[in-house]
Structure 1
Amino acid sequence: MNANSKHALIRGTDQPLTSLNPNAIIHNTPLGSTLGIPGRTLPTVPRITRVPQESPPKLFTTPISTIPTIRQHLNKTTKPMIDQNLTQSLKNNMNIVDDKKNDGRHHYQSQSEDMFVSTINPKIDPTRRHQFAPKQAFKYERSSKQAFKRKVPISNWTKILIGVGIFFGIAFVTAAIIIPVILVPILTRTTTTTTASTTDVTMFIPSNYWTSCSASCTNVTTTTPSTLLASWKFENNLLDSANSYNGSMSSVPSYISGYVDQALIVNSVQYVTVSSYLSFFSRSFTIEAWIYVTSLISSVDYGIFGQYQAATTRQWLFCIIRSNKMFFGFFNDDVGGSTTLSTNIWTHVAFVYDISTNTKMIYLNGVLDGSTTTGSSYQGTTGSMYIGKSASGGSVNPLSGYIDQVTISNRAKTACEILNDVTLVSYFSFDNVTTDSGPNTLSSYITLQSNSGVSFVTGRVGQALILSRTNAFFQTCGYYWLGHNNRAFSFALWIYPISAGGTILHLSSDRSGSGSWCLPKLGFSSNGSIVAQSWSGSSVVSVVGPQIPTNNWTHIVQTWSSTSGLRLYINGGLYGSFTMTTYVASNQNMCIFLGTSGFGTNCQTLNIIMGSYSGRIDEFYVYDRELTENEICPLAHPYN
């Protein structure tokens, strides 16, 4: 036998058991009762009772490889119970010592006089039955030692480290969820906002979009040809543009830059006489004018308009300045205003008589300044009219200053109509015409070359102007208040962009689009967002609105006032604003471009990318005041 091979040392010999000790007695005992299995009768196996000997037996070795495993021969029904009892029995009766000094051999020593050393396999040689018990005992003893290992207690520091590890593990998992689920969509949305095409842009719908519009002064008509009796614009002439009530002067008339284009200079020797009779007899009427007074003396009366038949009651119609305030009447049947006039500034005055209520009213800059219901209607049936004076003689002096846009209507205008006559600077409907339908009838121009790219198509209301070629434009000039500091204003229009880019509305002091003062007021940013801009005197300020969908109608309004700042309205609702208390202008009459910045390539800008706008424009309004949201509503909902 090879000495280096693994052996099991067993106390005994390789002789038959009876030859080891003649006194040994072999008993046939049922295995079930030996293992303590109740109710089970197993094959009978021998049991050895060892008796004391005079001398110890010799040690012998048997290779482990020759020892079969006893568990392979157990009955399937009794195997679990046998394993449990066999393990406990061998543990109580055998002491296993792992002696590495003896070439890795294992010594098995009996701790009791009785020892189970048999097998249930009848094919095994009975003389070798004692060789299997130690092998099986060794196997079960090792399993028992592993099962009874002592648990090591966990220290406090270990617990702390485990807790810290759990905390950071939870934090890592939370971050792994938050970053892809929350942060990534936010970052993606921000990126999309700056690069998205306007093809799929959703129209901005304000919260008040479906609310019915309240009554306001923007949904009423102004001066119409059917009610206009006379109109003198003084564009280098004294002609009546509405009828044939042309004027004359005793000297050569002089003109100056007026509220709209040109104005007439009036003084003690320069005033207009209209010889043709226009009847005011027993009827309602409205007389309006823009005046620029250069000097006032409180003790002097200054004439603005008059019709003189006689210096008797209700036969002398006059509109004058008395005690530096407005004064209106029919001679001994009069009404005075309450506001002191300012000099060296354009002021709108209106004198209204309503025969249905027998009311005389004075309006100053669109606001009612005085009224009365006493007296009766005007009774004069003859007499000339005077502009810049109230009569050919008498104590009333001619006006000292300028006069412009004098009109006479054959009805009593409402307060809203008067307000619009003062503050609605221009209105272009683009219903197959480019003329101004507002009270001032401003001049306008379009691209002059053939195939200019300017034409009329179906609009948001009636027809619309379409700009379909590069550098196609619409232009109108003569905006007095847009050229003066800190004067409130509003722009309103419908747009139908073919592509979201370019300048929509450009303001300049020169007809070229350039000049000493120029700025794109409405246009598109680089990503198709609508932008409103203005000038504070030191920098361009802007309100950036939403991206505007192409091939759809969108209503845009820009307003400014010293109290509300710069505001941008989309489809009738306020989208955004910027605090801006001052508006610094050019002190010149201004020109407006639609569809381009003209030659104003050197103009200031912030977010608007200047260039040609391609698309339709409709219902363009310019106001000399800040429109409120209630007033914007009917402009954004023209069919409500």
Structure 2
Amino acid sequence: MNDFSGYFIGIAYGLPIPGYATATNYIRQSIDLDPTNQQYIRISYVNLNQQIFTIQLWFLIRSSASLVDFGIFSQCGSDLICLSISIHNFRVTLSFDSLRSNVSTLLGGSILSRSYWYHLTIVYNAVLRQQLIYINGKIDAIANDVTPYQGTSFGATTYIGLSSSINYPLSYSHGFIDHFTISAGVARTACQIYNDATLITYYPFDTTDALLDRSVNLIHGIAFDLTTVSSGRLQQAISFKINTSYFQAQCFPTICPSSVPVSVSP
């Protein structure tokens, strides 16, 4: 449950605690959350108060209810001011003030479907005072002249798979969450976000860590009897020494229907 960098600790809650999905995951494994067991992840405090930030993740809704509140993320201080990201009636909902009825809440335009993986990006640009919601790399909703999130750090709690609010009860996730990232102090651009949502893998094959995937998906490869040479088309390249040499990567996402176009560019 811990952060990939090892600096932020994640603790699983629920009875039983959440497990991992493997058969229907996005890449490798994903966390499997069930609201009937009140499952969620509490993570170390990340300061998002009055600043730029970007939050990204892949998620899949499993709820069979016609109306649903599906918690994704929340951070609440002792003053009960909560930054809340949730799915409300199958639309992404973003609030900086606990979904209070007298405060504007940004509601996404897309109606989401069950059993389908979505890439979600939430951006707040404190310079432009904009809230932005992106679904699958494309802008879904935007709000201008938005006051920064004002939550206090004292007693603040930060959750994945759980949303807190004033007008609604606690909202637990029902489905899978994968590749969750928080970038405090960074507002990713539209081009970067589209790349995050659509680029599956990128192997530059340079000398340093030649077999690592440089996309956000981290689908690293393995190789047999290869060398790295300095005379690549762009910086370095890999060289296949004999006819049995190979490079291999696996666990590519299989979430898209076969009709979706795919490009491979060597």
Same fold, judged at TM 0.5 (above): yes
Change (3 A) 1:271 1:488: same
State the shift of 1:482 in Å.
Answer: 7.5
Change (3 A) 1:285 1:472: same
Deviation string 1:427-446 (CA, Å, 9 cap, x unpaired) is 11111121111111112111
Matched letter for residue 2 of structure 2: L
Aligned length: 249
Tell me the C-alpha RMSD between the 2 structures.
2.0
Contact 2:205–2:228 (Cα < 8 Å) also in 1: no
Structure 2: distance between partners of 1:368 and 1:243: 32
Does 1:463 pair with 2:236? yes
Change (3 A) 1:460 1:422: same
Does 1:261 pair with 2:38? no
State the shift of 1:335 in Å.
Answer: 0.7
Does 1:407 pair with 2:197? no
Percent of counterpart pairs with the same letter?
A: 29
Q: Paired residue for 1:634?
A: none
Does 1:325 pair with 2:96? no
Structure 2: distance between partners of 1:333 and 1:302: 19
Matched letter for residue 238 of structure 2: L
State the shift of 1:347 in Å.
Answer: 0.7
Structure 1: distance between partners of 2:159 and 2:165: 8
DSSP 3-state at the match of 2:251: strand
Contact 2:228–2:236 (Cα < 8 Å) also in 1: no
Change (3 A) 1:296 1:316: farther
Structure 2: distance between partners of 1:440 and 1:279: 25
Q: Paired residue for 1:305?
A: 73
Change (3 A) 1:296 1:286: farther
Q: 1:440 aligns with which of 192, 217, 240?
A: 217
Contact 2:53–2:182 (Cα < 8 Å) also in 1: yes
Structure 2: distance between partners of 1:483 and 1:302: 22
- Report matched runs for 1:493-504 at 5 Å: 493=266
Structure 2: distance between partners of 1:492 and 1:358: 38
Matched letter for residue 405 of structure 1: H
Change (3 A) 1:281 1:337: same
Query: Which structure is higher in RCO with an 8 Å CA cutoff and minimum separation 6?
Result: 2
State the shift of 1:337 in Å.
Answer: 0.6
Does 1:380 pair with 2:151? yes
Structure 2: distance between partners of 1:475 and 1:336: 42
Structure with the largest fraction of strand: 2
Q: Paired residue for 1:292?
A: 60
Matched letter for residue 176 of structure 2: Y
Q: Paired residue for 2:169?
A: 395
Q: 2:45 aligns with which of 274, 277, 298?
A: 277
State the shift of 1:296 in Å.
Answer: 5.1
Structure 1 gaps of 5+ residues are: 1-237, 494-640
Q: Paired residue for 1:148?
A: none
Contact 2:82–2:165 (Cα < 8 Å) also in 1: no
Contact 2:79–2:152 (Cα < 8 Å) also in 1: no
Contact 2:206–2:228 (Cα < 8 Å) also in 1: no
Contact 1:457–1:466 (Cα < 8 Å) also in 2: no
- Report matched runs for 1:185-204 at 5 Å: none
DSSP 3-state at the match of 2:46: coil
Q: Indicate the structure (1 or 2) with the bigger Cα radius of gyration.
A: 1
Structure 2: distance between partners of 1:492 and 1:341: 31
Structure 1: distance between partners of 2:263 and 2:123: 27
Structure with the largest fraction of helix: 1
Structure 2: distance between partners of 1:387 and 1:362: 17
Matched letter for residue 418 of structure 1: I
DSSP 3-state at the match of 2:150: coil
Deviation string 1:261-280 (CA, Å, 9 cap, x unpaired) is 11110111221111x21100
- Report matched runs for 1:136-285 at 5 Å: 238-250=1-13, 251-257=16-22, 258-268=25-35, 269=37, 270-274=39-43, 276-285=44-53
Matched letter for residue 256 of structure 1: A
Structure 2: distance between partners of 1:401 and 1:317: 21
Q: Paired residue for 2:123?
A: 352
Change (3 A) 1:484 1:300: closer
Deviation string 1:444-489 (CA, Å, 9 cap, x unpaired) is 1111xxxx24334321111111111121111111111377422221
Q: 2:112 aligns with which of 324, 332, 341?
A: 341
Contact 1:239–1:247 (Cα < 8 Å) also in 2: yes
DSSP 3-state at the match of 1:490: coil
DSSP 3-state at the match of 2:111: coil
Change (3 A) 1:415 1:453: closer
DSSP 3-state at the match of 1:479: coil
Contact 2:55–2:122 (Cα < 8 Å) also in 1: yes
Q: Paired residue for 2:248?
A: 475
State the shift of 1:375 in Å.
Answer: 3.1
Change (3 A) 1:370 1:302: same
Change (3 A) 1:482 1:385: closer
Structure 2: distance between partners of 1:453 and 1:281: 48
Q: Paired residue for 1:417?
A: 192
DSSP 3-state at the match of 2:118: strand
Structure 2: distance between partners of 1:248 and 1:477: 29
Matched letter for residue 84 of structure 2: F
Structure 2 gaps of 5+ residues are: 98-102
State the shift of 1:381 in Å.
Answer: 2.6
Deviation string 1:392-414 (CA, Å, 9 cap, x unpaired) is 99613211111100011131111
Q: Paired residue for 2:262?
A: 489
Structure 1: distance between partners of 2:182 and 2:67: 29
Contact 2:57–2:177 (Cα < 8 Å) also in 1: yes
Contact 2:73–2:162 (Cα < 8 Å) also in 1: yes
Change (3 A) 1:420 1:414: same
Contact 1:302–1:322 (Cα < 8 Å) also in 2: yes
